[in-house]
Chains A and B, each alone.
Chain A
Amino acid sequence: MSTLRYIDAIRTALDIELRRDPSVVALGEDVTYGGPFGATKGLADTYGTRIKDTPISEATVMGLTVGAALSGLRPVMEVMYIDFITLAMDQLVNHGAKLRYMTDGLLQVPMVIRAQGGARGSMGAHHSQSLEAWFAHVPGLTVVAPSTPADAQGLLQSAIRSDDPVLYLEHRGLYWQKGEVPDGDDAALVPIGRAIVRRAGSDVTIASWSHMMGAALAAADQLAADGIEAEVIDLRSLLPLDLDALLGSVGRTGRLVIAHEAVTQGGLGAEIAAQVQERAWAELAAPIARVGAPFVPPPFAPELERAFVPDVDAIVAAARRVLDTPSRAARPSPQSVEA
Chain B
Amino acid sequence: MSSPETSAALGADPSDASDPSVMSDPPARAGWSRLSYAEGMALGLREALASDPTVRLMGQYFFGLTPWRRLTVDIRERFPDRVWDPPIAEIGYVGTGIGAAISGLRPIVDVATASFIFQPFSQVVNEAANIHYMTGGQTRVPMVIHVNHGIRGGGAAQHSHSPQAMLWNTPGIKIMTPSSARDVRGLLRTAVEDDNPVFWADHAKLFDYVDDVPDAEERIPFGVAEIKRAGTDVTIVGTSLMVRRALEAAEILAADGISAEVVDPRTLVPFDTETILESVGRTGRLVIVDECHQSCGVGAEIAARVAEHAFDALRAPIRRIATADVPIPFGRPMEELVEPSAAKVVTAVRSLLG
Report A's interface with B, CB cutoff 8 A: 83-84, 86-87, 89-90, 92-94, 97-98, 101-102, 124-126, 131, 133-134, 136-140, 239, 262-263, 265-271, 273-274, 277-279, 281, 286-290, 294-297, 299-300, 325, 332, 334-337
Q: Which residues of A contact B293 (CB under 8 A)?
A: 137-139
- In the complex, how many residue pairs between chain A and chain B have their CB atoms under 8 Å apart? 163
Q: Is B38 an interface residue (CB 8 A)?
A: no
**Shortest beta-carbon distance from A105 to chain B in Å:** 13
Q: Which residues of A contact B166 (CB under 8 A)?
A: 133-134, 137, 266
B308 touches A273 (CB 8 A): yes
B168 touches A297 (CB 8 A): no
Kindly state the separation between the CA atoms of A93 and B125 in the bound complex, as whole angstroms: 15
Q: Is B103 an interface residue (CB 8 A)?
A: no
B352 touches A97 (CB 8 A): no
**Shortest beta-carbon distance from A308 to chain B in Å:** 10
Kindly state the separation between the CA atoms of A306 and B197 in the bound complex, as whole angstroms: 27
CB within 8 Å for A137 and B119 given contacts A124-B134, A290-B308, A296-B133: no
A297 touches B316 (CB 8 A): no
A140 touches B327 (CB 8 A): yes
CB within 8 Å for A286 and B311 given contacts A98-B327, A125-B133, A270-B296: yes
A94 touches B158 (CB 8 A): yes
Kindly state the separation between the CA atoms of A59 and B249 in the bound complex, as whole angstroms: 42
Q: Which residues of B contact A337 (CB under 8 A)?
A: 316-317
Kindly state the separation between the CA atoms of A281 and B311 in the bound complex, as whole angstroms: 10
B318 touches A94 (CB 8 A): no
Interface magnitude class on chain B: 35 or more
Q: Which residues of B contact A334 (CB under 8 A)?
A: 316-317, 351-354
**Shortest beta-carbon distance from B328 to chain A in Å:** 9
Partner of B296, one of A90, A125, A268, A289: A268
Q: Which residues of A contact B172 (CB under 8 A)?
A: 296-297
Please encode chain B, from 340 to 354, with 1 for each CB lying within 8 Å of some chain A CB and 0 for all others.
000000000001111
Partner of B118, one of A89, A139, A295: A89
The stretch from B3-11, B138-146, B239-247, B297-305 touching chain A is B297-305
B327 touches A271 (CB 8 A): no
CB within 8 Å for A274 and B354 given contacts A89-B118, A288-B304: no
CB within 8 Å for A265 and B169 given contacts A89-B121, A281-B317: yes
Q: Which residues of B contact A133 (CB under 8 A)?
A: 166, 169, 296
**Shortest beta-carbon distance from A322 to chain B in Å:** 9
Q: Is B165 an interface residue (CB 8 A)?
A: yes
Kindly state the separation between the CA atoms of A269 and B308 in the bound complex, as whole angstroms: 12
Q: Specify the chain B residue showing the minimal Cβ separation from A131.
A: B169
A266 touches B318 (CB 8 A): no
**Shortest beta-carbon distance from B278 to chain A in Å:** 17
Kindly state the separation between the CA atoms of A60 and B181 in the bound complex, as whole angstroms: 40
Give the 4 A-B CB pairs with smallest separation, nearest first. A266-B169, A336-B351, A274-B303, A273-B304
Kindly state the separation between the CA atoms of A329 and B159 in the bound complex, as whole angstroms: 48
B297 touches A137 (CB 8 A): yes
Given contacts A263-B169, A270-B303, A281-B316, 17 further A-B contacts (CB under 8 A): A97-B327, A102-B327, A134-B169, A137-B297, A139-B295, A139-B327, A265-B169, A271-B296, A273-B300, A274-B300, A274-B307, A274-B320, A277-B304, A277-B318, A290-B304, A325-B311, A334-B354
Kindly state the separation between the CA atoms of A336 and B180 in the bound complex, as whole angstroms: 34
Kindly state the separation between the CA atoms of A237 and B270 in the bound complex, as whole angstroms: 31
B296 touches A266 (CB 8 A): yes
CB within 8 Å for A90 and B303 given contacts A136-B296, A287-B309: no
9 contacts between A and B (CB under 8 A): A133-B169, A134-B169, A137-B165, A269-B304, A273-B303, A273-B304, A274-B320, A278-B319, A297-B134
* Contact residues, B167-184 vs A (CB, 8 A): 168-172
Kindly state the separation between the CA atoms of A84 and B125 in the bound complex, as whole angstroms: 11
**Shortest beta-carbon distance from A102 to chain B in Å:** 5
Kindly state the separation between the CA atoms of A269 and B300 in the bound complex, as whole angstroms: 9
Kindly state the separation between the CA atoms of A325 and B301 in the bound complex, as whole angstroms: 22
Q: Specify the chain A residue showing the minimal Cβ separation from B167.
A: A266
A266 touches B292 (CB 8 A): no
A273 touches B121 (CB 8 A): no
B130 touches A87 (CB 8 A): no
B325 touches A139 (CB 8 A): yes
A273 touches B307 (CB 8 A): yes
Q: Which residues of A contact B70 (CB under 8 A)?
A: none
B171 touches A271 (CB 8 A): no
Q: Is B267 an interface residue (CB 8 A)?
A: no
A101 touches B326 (CB 8 A): yes
Kindly state the separation between the CA atoms of A263 and B298 in the bound complex, as whole angstroms: 14
**Shortest beta-carbon distance from B122 to chain A in Å:** 4
A336 touches B354 (CB 8 A): yes
Partner of B157, one of A94, A134, A274, A288: A94
B327 touches A297 (CB 8 A): no
